[in-house]
Amino acid sequence: MLLRRSHSLDSAIRSSDITPQEAFERYRRQRRVLIGGAATLTARALAASYIPDVFFPSTTVHAQALSTAPGKYTTSENQTPFAKATHYNNFYEFGTDKSDPARNAHTLKTRPWTVQVTGMVKKPQTLDIDTLLKYRPIESRIYRHRCVEAWSMVIPWDGYSLSEFINYCEPLPSAKYVQFVTLLDKKQMPDLPGGYDWPYSEGLRLDEAMNPLALLAFGCYGQVLPNQNGAPIRIVLPWKYGFKSAKSLVRFHFTDKQPKTTWNEISSQEYGFYSNVNPQVDHPRWTQSRERRIDSSAFPRTIPTQMFNGYADQVASLYNGMNLKRYY
Ligand SMILES: Nc1nc2c(c(=O)[nH]1)N[C@H]1C(S)=C(S)[C@@H](COP(=O)(O)O)O[C@H]1N2
Ligand SMILES: [Mo]
């Protein structure tokens, strides 16, 4: 019997006909084109990065993170051990104790995941997390990480500059701020604490957000972000207190007004909009002039805190002429 072949069916492959293996191969080819030019990636890292959920194997790229040359984006200070950076977290949606997120955040579902771009942009849109992940080559940067509670860590993050993504969003000239809105889903966050104005949100002036130091992170320690560290996408702002670095982002909102931010709403005396690390401006309840490193030193806080957490060369000019005691 002669099979009649329909041309239209023949040429239009429905996505449901594609096997996972084919989809995987397709993803792999895309990755090669998009990040093949990144000289820092080893062939093995590149090959392993084709696995959608684990873009680097921990061993290979952890080594790469370690070999990243110290420079503007990378400190040579000792890295905080992975186990500490993933078991001493603030992610209140999963509990307010430092050990809660590692225990509870397994209920966070990171695929499928979309990110909305809203407000004063040329074209409001919704993007798939994997589109964002593939948009620019992933770099490793080792940043100091300073919490407002006067502890610090040194963490290798994997991502690309937030400015790259903001350029992609094409904010209108009227946009002066960007707000970061994070996931709120009581089903995934059964222990969501009361008394907070969820969802957690943060924000920056647009020129701060465009500073190349501001990182859009998808991974840390050469592997995909653990849920408790803000999977599948977060901000990292090493010159500001940790709470500005919002985790598990679902929306970027561009606006001409300074956005409301979670901690500022809770206690504006303690947590300002800017929240730059500043050893000269104390928290009302403790000094910010010293800190302790989570891996090595217990109390007392013996490490002197640096202005802008040591990144003054790169960011101080953003605040020229501002009274930083007033705009804390
Ligand atoms: N969505 C969300 N993002 C958040 C927080 C939070 O509670 N919820 N805590 C912030 C605080 S206070 C800090 S210090 C950092 C901690 O990041 P880490 O756990 O990866 O070290 O995340 C910030 N981002
Ligand atoms: Mo923090």
Q: What is the pLDDT of residues 35-60, one digit of tens each?
A: 433 434 444 443 344 333 344 444 44
Which residues sit with Cβ closer than 5 angstroms to ligand 2, an ion?
Answer: 90, 147, 242-243
- Distance from the alpha carbon of residue 273 to the mean position of ligand 2, in angstroms: 14
- Which residue's CA is the closest to the ligand 1 atom numbered 19? 89
State the Cα–Cα distance between residues 128 and 111, nearest whole angstrom: 9
Cα–Cα separations (whole angstroms), residue 138 to 24, 27, 30, 35, 132: 19, 16, 14, 8, 11
pLDDT of residue 65: 47
Mean pLDDT of the residues in the chain: 84
- Which residue's CA is the closest to the ligand 1 atom numbered 5? 91
Q: Does residue 246 contact residue 182 with C-beta atoms inside 8 Å?
A: yes
User: Of all atoms in ligand 1, which is nearest to the CA of residue 220?
Assistant: 20
How is the chain split into domains, by residue range?
A: 8-319
C-alpha closest to that of 196 among 260, 258, 102, 118: 260
Q: Does residue 128 contact residue 112 with C-beta atoms inside 8 Å?
A: yes
Could you read off the pLDDT of 137-190 as tens digits, one per residue? 899 999 999 999 999 999 999 999 999 999 999 999 999 999 999 999 999 999
Max CA separation in the chain (angstroms): 86
State the Cα–Cα distance between residues 204 and 273, nearest whole angstrom: 8
pLDDT of residue 178: 98
State the Cα–Cα distance between residues 312 and 317, nearest whole angstrom: 8
State the Cα–Cα distance between residues 107 and 134, nearest whole angstrom: 25
Show the CA angle centred on residue 206, arms to residues 221 and 311, nearest 5°. 50
pLDDT of residue 312: 98
Non-local (6+) Cβ contacts of 58 within 8 A are 221, 222, 223
- Distance from the alpha carbon of residue 148 to the mean position of ligand 2, in angstroms: 5
User: Of all atoms in ligand 1, which is nearest to the CA of residue 85?
Assistant: 21
State the Cα–Cα distance between residues 208 and 116, nearest whole angstrom: 21
DSSP structural state of residue 189: -
Q: Is 278 annotated as a binding residue?
A: no
130, containing H or E segment: helix 129-135
Residues with CB under 6 A from ligand 1: 89-93, 145, 147, 182, 200, 229-230, 242-243, 245-248
Phi, psi of 206 (to 5 degrees): -60, -35
- Distance from the alpha carbon of residue 275 to the mean position of ligand 1, in angstroms: 14
- Quick check: pTM over 0.95? no
User: Of all atoms in ligand 1, which is nearest to the CA of residue 89?
Assistant: 19
Token couple for 104: 């509870």
pLDDT of residue 295: 81
Of the candidate CATH numbers 2.60.40.10, 1.10.287.1770, 3.90.1210.10, 3.90.420.10, the domain formed by 8-319 belongs to: 3.90.420.10
Q: Is 147 annotated as a binding residue?
A: yes
- Which residue's CA is the closest to the ligand 1 atom numbered 23? 243
Token couple for 320: 């020229």
pLDDT of residue 42: 45
CA torsion sign for 268, 318, 234, 62 is negative
Q: Is 72 annotated as a binding residue?
A: no
- Distance from the alpha carbon of residue 69 to the mean position of ligand 1, in angstroms: 27
Which residues does the chain have with pLDDT short of 50?
1-66
- Which residue's CA is the closest to the ligand 1 atom numbered 15? 242
Token couple for 48: 């392993």
